[in-house]
Structure 1
Amino acid sequence: MRKDKKFFGFGKNVIVTGFVSFFMDFSSEMIYPLVPLFLSNILGVNKSIIGLIEGIAESTASLLRVFSGWFSDRIGNRKWLMAAGYSISTLSRPLIAVASGWHHVLGSRFIDRFGKGIRVAPRDALIAESTDKAYLGRAFGLQRAMDTFGAVVGPAVAFLLLGLLSNNYRTIFWLSMIPGIIAVLLIVFFIKEKKEPTTLCLEKPTLTIKHFDWRFKFFVLIAAVFALGNSSDVFLILRAQQTGVSVVMIPIVYLVFNLVYSLSSIPAGIASDKFGRKRVILSGFVLFAVLYYGFAVVSDTKDIWGLFAFYGLFMGLTEGTQKAFLATIIPPDFKATAFGVYNTVVGLAMLPASLFGGWLWDHISPSATFYFGAVTSVLAALMFMVFILAVKKNT
């Protein structure tokens, strides 16, 4: 396999993928912190419907991830599936800009996540194929850092535009297409395939999990249990508004989350490479349980800022590290399929998570949504400790 020229220790594909992630999240996060406010304040939608929208958007589109991963392995192509996925997400923006009912917002969110379902597994496989095994943690950490840096810039721009445009949500939704278009152009002109079709293994990848051992299956189960309590971040945004954070300041609160997420992703990746990914992942599960307990009991606006900052630290610790760990326990010729299975299972768990989270908010209390998330995170941490012991016993 031809070696890429390195830039700051990373191959060209990893660097370009980082910038692609930056611009797409710039686009997405101009919209995301405004969507629950748009639904609740402008369209008058209740929290159960908001949970339904987020659950359907994430989970139904997640079904594509396993097929996308399998298809990417089957045809030996990452680049054009990535381009298709990022293009579809960008084209979802006009629908929310002209929305007059919650079903339009659902359609836009579904199309956006549909695009993500196509692009995520090939993108993760491309990063894994373009990186030496010893540096997987920092490579995925870079991708998450760039992605999240875009998620810092997006809310900041949304905050400025809210003031300039007198809270005109729709114009901001239209303008969010611009960075999305840049992301697609970067893929088309700068990403290079790592694996030519002629070098693929003779056994074509099949849509099955028989290629993966018990470690992969157990880890995916743990991730699914955790995801059942990890309801959509829109509930965190609504919780912030409930405690007294103004509409104009909501993007800045979300910016704080993404800034800490971005700044912690690469150090967390380096730490996982040096000290062990399992330790970092376990720490993340414990931190999440403490955080969601905090969101359950918070009543002071000042505390919201700290909670969002620590939520960013949790994401920095776990998001890239989990994928880097996953890359070490899957066969090399089935990387995209494996990432597709992982992302699909986690995504499907988000449907009941967001539906139940919305139901708990409306019918019991907002705090109940977060207590439930804390409990499932503790359960996932206990399961992961069993996983660690089982791995030690079998090695």
Structure 2
Amino acid sequence: MKVISRTVWVLSLVSFFTDISSEMLYPVMPLYLKSIGFSVVLIGVLEGFAEATAGLSKGYFGKLSDVQGKRLPFVQLGYALSAISKPMMAVLTWPWWIFSARTIDRLGKGVRTGARDALLAGEAPGRSRGEVFGFHRTMDTFGAALGPTLALVFLYLNPGSYHMLFYLAFIPGVAGVLGTLAIKEKKINIVRKKAVSFFSFIRYLPTSSAAYKKLLSGLLVFTLFNSSDVFLLLMLKHHGISDTMLIGMYIFYNLIFAVFAYPLGKVADNIGLKKMFIAGLAFFSIVYFGMAYFKDQEMFFVLFFLYGVYAACTEGVSKAWISNTCKKEDMATAIGTYEAFRSIATLLASSLAGLIWFYVSPKATFITTAVAVSLLIIYFINIEEVHSSADHT
């Protein structure tokens, strides 16, 4: 049976174009904000607020998608909001306007994530969700690698032209939105019309399966020790790596992630999602131990290669595993709830890493994370994996 359906292809292409749009701006966002008068503190507040908005809204809109029995409207609205936010950033430079534009961008991600992932899971026949999510991550991440590459080339030819870059980023964003018009949604039979409050997704936890609770607990503990990738880049700077090489390594990581996500997703379906995820955690620990002890540029490339493999082993696989622990009609809620709590855990993780970095040492930050994740592997080894949402009640 054909695993990668037309809907999976279209959703993956939509993510590809949207990530080109978003990642074109990722390396230059701090530079642009500084150029229009934002302080480092204000940049931090802006990004923290935007990410918190995205994370918490994933839970709400995931729940709303399940209650309304619809996926596609949330997908279309979410991608449209992210696309329109790009030129908004360049039109005016007032702080409240920039806050609004950045929040709209992240809100778009919150609106679409749970519904989109539920659509992907619904397209996966039998034990093939690892392959489906892996394919989506491959396309998504190729966009994440191409975006900053295009930005670097443009800024090399047009130094300081940040405003024009925001307008150019709107083009692939619109391509992604237009792609959503080609998606045909399968009818969801169970529709429960009732009011949904912003934090109503939290009420899903007591009613969720034991498998979901155990998996969610492990994933959130991992997130608490998995700080922002910014710390990896800061460690490179700490060891004297140039800005150009640093961005090159970031692109290299995304390319490795993209190349391996689909094949490793297929392998995960054959050997078990749990085994693949644990392998990813092992790679993660190796990378963090390596970042603590190695100082050679060549070794950093090896570590970023392994970091790309880690991401390919875990990102799509974790979504596929979550979708196997919940009922079909609760899928967007289950994924959205995970994403909401993960956003909070991510903020805490980066704060913890920053404190250890500042008060102890950069090396201690990476050793602490590596040891914690190594111990967490034992927890995941003892989790019983369910293979589809039909395996539990």
TM-score bin, normalised by smaller chain: 0.7 to 0.9
1:162 maps to which residue?
155
Q: Residue 83 and residue 70 in structure 1: after superposition, are their counterparts in 2 closer, same or farther (change >3 A)?
A: same
Q: How far apart are 1:33 and its partner, in Å?
A: 2.9
Question: 1:26 and 2:20 equivalent?
Answer: yes
From 193, 216, 226, give the equivalent of 2:212: 216
Q: Is the Cα contact below 8 Å between 1:124 and 1:336 reproduced in 2?
A: yes
The equivalent residue for 1:135 is 128
Kindly indicate whether the alpha-carbon contact (under 8 Å) linking 1:24 and 1:86 is maintained by their aligned counterparts in 2: yes
Provide the rounded CA distance (Å) in 1 between the counterparts of 2:102 and 2:337. Answer: 21
Aligned residue number for residue 232 of structure 1 = 228
1:40–1:363 Cα change, 3 Å? farther
| Higher mean C-alpha displacement, 375-384 vs 176-185 | 375-384
1:72 to 50, 61, 65: 65
- 3-state DSSP class of the match of 2:184? coil
Deviation at 1:86, TM superposition (A): 1.3
Verify the 8 A CA contact 1:85 1:116 in the aligned structure 2: yes
**Cα deviation digits, residues 202-227 of structure 1 (max 9, x gap):** 68798432442111011111111111
Instruction: Could you tell me which runs of 5 or more consecutive residues in structure 1 were left unpaired when the two chains were aligned.
Output: 1-5
Match of 2:81 in 1: 88
Contact 2:3 2:125 in 1 (8 A): no
Which residue of 1 is the match for residue 8 of structure 2? 14
Superposed CA offset, 1:270-319 (max 9, x none)? 11111111100111112111212222334333333222222111110111
Deviates more, 1:131-140 or 1:263-272: 131-140
Distance 2:276 2:365 in 1: 26
SS at match of 2:128: helix
User: Given residue 228 of structure 1, which amino acid in structure 2 is its aligned partner?
Assistant: L
Q: Report the equivalent of 2:339.
A: 343
Equivalent-residue separation in structure 1 for 2:228 and 2:101 (angstroms): 16
**SS at 1:190's partner residue?**
coil
Residues 84 and 315 of structure 1, relative CA distance in 2, 3 Å threshold: same
Aligned with residue 119 of structure 1, among 86, 109, 112: 112
* Structure 1 residue 344: Cα displacement: 1.1
| RMSD (Å), alpha carbons | 3.0
Shift of 1:36: 4.9
* TM superposition shift of 1:37: 5.6
User: Which letter maps to 2:268?
Assistant: S
What amino acid is the match of 2:258? Answer: S
- 1:106 is displaced (CA, Å) by 6.1
> CA separation in 2, counterparts of 1:54 and 1:299?
30
Mark the CA change 1:108 to 1:254 in structure 2 (over 3 Å): closer, same or farther.
farther
Task: Give the equivalent residue in structure 2 for 1:63.
Answer: 56
* Bigger shift: residues 247-256 or 202-211: 202-211
Return closer, same or farther for 1:101/1:259 CA change in 2, 3 Å cut-off: farther
**1:274 equivalent in structure 2:** 270
Answer whether contact 2:324 2:386 (CA < 8 A) is retained: no
* TM norm structure 2: 0.87
SS in 1 for 2:279: helix
Q: Which moved more, 1:315-324 or 1:294-303?
A: 294-303
1:261 equivalent in alignment to 2:257 = yes
- 1:203 to 1:170, Cα distance in 2 relative to 1, 3 A: closer
The amino acid that maps onto 1:325 is W
- TM-score of the aligned structures, taking structure 1 as reference length: 0.86
Q: Give the partner amino acid of 1:90.
A: A
Unaligned runs of 5+ in 2: none
Alpha-carbon distance in structure 2 between the residues aligned to 1:356 and 1:101: 32
**Which has the higher mean CA deviation after the structures are superposed, 9-18 or 207-216?**
207-216
Once the 2 structures are TM-superposed, how far is the Cα of residue 23 of structure 1 from its aligned partner?
Answer: 0.5
1:151 corresponds in structure 2 to: 144
Give yes or no for the alignment of 1:352 onto 2:370. Answer: no
Could you tell me whether the CA contact under 8 Å between 2:69 and 2:191 is conserved in 1? no
User: How far 1:95 sits from its partner (Å)?
Assistant: 5.2
Paired position in structure 1 for 2:323: 327
Question: 2: CA distance between counterparts of 1:300 and 1:359?
Answer: 26
**Structure 1 residues 319 and 300, CA gap change in structure 2 (3 angstroms):** same
User: What is the letter of the counterpart of residue 215 of structure 1?
Assistant: A
Which residue number corresponds to residue 3 of structure 1? none
Query: For 1:381 and 1:326, how far apart are their aligned partners in 2?
Result: 17
Once the two structures are aligned, what percentage of the paired residues are identical?
A: 36
1:194 aligns with 2:186: yes
CA distance 1:390–1:119, shift in 2 (3 Å): closer
On the 8 A contact 1:284/1:317 being kept in 2, the answer is yes
In the superposition, relative to structure 1, how do residues 149 and 290 fare at CA in structure 2: closer, same or farther (>3 Å)? same
Q: Structure 1's 36 and 227: CA in aligned 2 closer, same or farther, altered over 3 A?
A: farther
Residues 295-310 of structure 1: matches in 2 within 5 Å?
Answer: 295-310=291-306
Cα 1:162/1:27, change in 2 over 3 Å: same
Task: Please state how far the C-alpha of 1:149 moved relative to its aligned partner.
Answer: 0.8
- Where does residue 170 of structure 2 map in the other structure? 177
Range that drifts further, 353-362 or 80-89 = 353-362
Distance 1:362 1:95 in 2: 36
Match of 1:244 among 240, 246, 251: 240
